[in-house]
Amino acid sequence: MLAEGENMLKTYEMLKQDLTAYKALDMKIKRMADRREVIKLKKNLYKTGPTVSGYLEAAAICTPSYLSFDYALSCHGLIPERAKIYTSATCRKRKKKTFRNWFGTYFIRMSRCLFFHTKLKYATKMKDLV
């Protein structure tokens, strides 16, 4: 059984390792989800407690990605509004995807231009600096 007060994100495989004492693991995980002992965020990803931060959930839902746009501006106090949607940018193939659960809304969008792939050019002569 999961430890009381344990708050973290777990994959399906991690849950199976925690519940080795049970024979019908899939049924046990389903019952735990029905009783809200674990919350399914997406396929093979579960939340085991209420205090896991939303930005950690957003990072786990879509990897590799980073929080951006309105959410990042709001976190740093650059806009007065509070962002209610965790927006992640990724360079993966999917164009747009939205995950909703009772913790929040997670919006993922592909944005290649926001990933800066630059090569540093070193100046070898003084004229290269100008």
Which tokens go with 69? 């746009």
Decide the pairing of beta strands 104-110 and 85-90: parallel
Whether pTM > 0.85 for this model: the answer is no
- Residue 12 CA: distances (Å) to CA of 55, 68, 100: 20, 28, 19
- Over residues 57-73, the pLDDT tens digits come to 888 888 777 787 788 88
Between 123 and 52, the higher pLDDT residue: 52
In three-state secondary structure terms, 111 is coil
3-state secondary structure of 85: strand
Each residue of 25-40: pLDDT tens digit? 999 999 998 998 888 8
Distant-in-sequence, close-in-space partners of 130: CB < 8 Å, separation ≥ 6? none
- Is-contact 60 74, C-beta < 8 A? no
Read off the pLDDT of residues 76-100 as tens digits, 9 standing for 90 and up.
888 888 887 888 887 766 667 787 7
Tokens of 118: 């630059």
